[in-house]
Chains A and B, each alone.
Chain A
Amino acid sequence: MANKLISQMGLPKSIANIFAARNIITAKDALSLTELELMELLDVGLAEVTNAVTHISEIVSPPYQTVLSLLEQRVQNEYLAGHLPTQLKGLDAALFGGIPFGVVTELVGPAGIGKTQFCLKLALLASLPFTYGGLNGHVIYIDTESKFSSRRMIEIGVNSFPEVFHIEGMAQEMAGRILVLRPASLAEFTESLQQLKVSVLQHQVKLLIVDSMAALISGESGQGHVRQQSLGWHISFLKSLAEFSRIPVVVTNQVRSQSGDEGPQYTFQVQSARDNPECPTSDSHLVAALGIHWAHAVSVRLVFESRSGLRFIKLAKSSTSPPVAFPFNITSAGISLLNDEGMEIKGPEITTIHCQGHVGILNFVNDE
């Protein structure tokens, strides 16, 4: 819509010609100027500019729908409201059915906690035939940290869905549907994302996983503005890819430690904290590697953490559920919840990421 040509909007010929003569070709060109700037540039009166801008705006403005009609569409096309079930009962219930289609879901947590295990399982689930609760589709797995292990994935498959994987040739069929990309640089990653856009629609891709986003962004460009800029592009791209192809996009994020007190606060909070000198300051703690700009963009955030040696999946951001945490462990079949009840969490606990003594992930893998 933004690139719509002004010459094709049915403006009066006289004014349309003036726009063209001043090289204002698209709606974006015109609306990126204030009315005063347009007056000056086009050398016409305010009334004419206002009329033209009103006309252009009405054409470019997306059509509205009532929320009721949105709801009816969802009911009619179940896939619009679809979810990829994680087959972890408690988590699926909290998420109204699983990882939602059409939005970006983030997994964040310390190294070795089980994010990749979770991703491997999701990849399998999306490729599984409908009859077994899967999405019967292709999966694109962007593995930036070289952590993807086919052997481990098949192992999870064999142990989670023995009835499928014991069928002759099924393991090959399932694994064949999962396409792994290993971009070596941010530029390569960006390029493969752009190519993805087309293939997602053409090839029945039902899930996109990026494991991890942080590795590329923090590895490559330095601090500050450049990094924010490139991250901005990736955020927009992944969000719109998810939305327009109606697939779940799952992205992992690393953690980094931040020293000092509770991290940034608002000015008015800092002032009140100064008035209250007894405010305790904690030691260094973990925060998500990609900052607050990124955090705004994800629709669902799952924090993987460990407290006193016990691992938890924490649903830290979701518009369907209050924040809840589920203890889990990792078995040969992947992640399994210790109970499906979950416990509600409040306040700063929701956003903190604990890392207290989880050790030796996947010991059992080597016990063959």
Chain B
Amino acid sequence: MVHYVFLLGAQSAWDMLHEEKSCKSITTSCSDLDEILGGGINCKEVTEIGGVPGIGKTQMGIQLAINVQIPAQYGGLGGKAVYIDTEGSFMVERALQIAEACIEDLREYDSFLRKDGKPCQINKQPNDFLANIFYFRVCSYTEQIAVVNYLEKFISEHEDVKVVIIDSITFHFRQDFDNMALRTRLLGGMALKLMKLANKFSLAVVLLNQVTTKYSEGSFQLTLALGDSWSHACTNRIILYWNGNERYAYIDKSPSLQSASSPYSVTAKGIRNSVSNCKRVKMM
């Protein structure tokens, strides 16, 4: 039942609860990470993922662009993806690899459920996955702002877009600014628009961020880039980091999740659970 709401545009907390429950999330393909995230990357939220170079931010971005397309009968969203590449780091070949691995997994899932040997149901090809990723290459902060403004129109024409990935939110804003107050205002404005987009179209927004060092309490510490006021901009903040020999994801900020960390790994198939006991040391 829907409650009577006397204030135009408002929504009762009870109705919101229902909506939150029905809200889907995108799996990261790492079940440990999904677990601490409460199922995966949530729709209707802006999630920031940051980490040192080479930790796997772009890999995570590509993985989500593929996973958002997992059909509903496999527990996915059957959606499409917008990938905004500000750094030129998107790898087409890698996306193909991850799509192939995803189909393989879905087939495996099929044969697991259908022991009677009926033919597989999944009839998607890797190319179908690639055709459903809309790729924007952005070369300046002006273009970045423009794309974000334009997305509302674009997505209303492509309603099955369920994830918007910006890889990275940081790059252009880190190069060309002397006026930090202006930068903060522009970033703040962009974050608001993305938040609005996430809500309006029930989609997930994923912003990849770089790290920087910051001097505090007598030592240099790592922190995500773009400063303190930016750190308020996103719903969730996930930090990817090295813990000994393993990659870990840490929930640094979230209004609904406990802070927790989980290991993950980057394999030829994409993001997966960490398998630290199965080392593939070839020599020495």
Contact = CB atoms under 8 A, between A and B. Distances in A.
Interface size class of B (residues with CB under 8 A): 35 or more
Interface string B151-163: 0111000000000
Given A34-B185, A66-B134, A347-B246, A319 B89 contact: yes
Contact of B186 (A34, A56, A346): A34
Contacts of A74: 92
B244 interface: yes
| Chain A, interface residues (CB within 8 Å), range | 35 or more
B54 A341 contact: no
A15 B145 CA distance: 21
Interface string B246-284: 100010100000010000001110000000000111111
Given A34-B189, A232-B175, A1 B53 contact: no
A322 B280 CA distance: 11
Given A70-B135, A236-B175, A339 B210 contact: no
Contact of A346 (B171, B212, B245): B245
Contact of A1 (B91, B139, B221): B139
Interface stretch (A152-160, A176-184, A291-299, A355-363): A291-299
B106 interface: no
Nearest to A56: B146
A68 to B, nearest CB: 4
Contacts of A347: 242, 244-246
A259 to B, nearest CB: 12
Contacts of A57: 145-150
A267 B252 CA distance: 10
Given A65-B135, A103-B88, A235 B175 contact: yes
A293 B54 contact: no
B174 A293 contact: yes
Nearest to A228: B174
Interface of B: 52-54, 58-59, 65, 82-83, 87-96, 127, 130-143, 145-150, 152-154, 168, 170-171, 174-176, 178, 182, 185-186, 189, 210-213, 219-223, 239, 241-246, 250, 252, 259, 266-268, 279-284
Q: Top 5 nearest A-B pairs by Cβ distance?
A: A347-B245, A57-B149, A2-B142, A317-B54, A60-B146
Given A229-B178, A264-B221, A351-B54, 13 more contacts: A27-B146, A62-B136, A66-B135, A67-B135, A81-B93, A103-B89, A236-B176, A263-B220, A269-B243, A295-B53, A316-B54, A319-B94, A343-B282
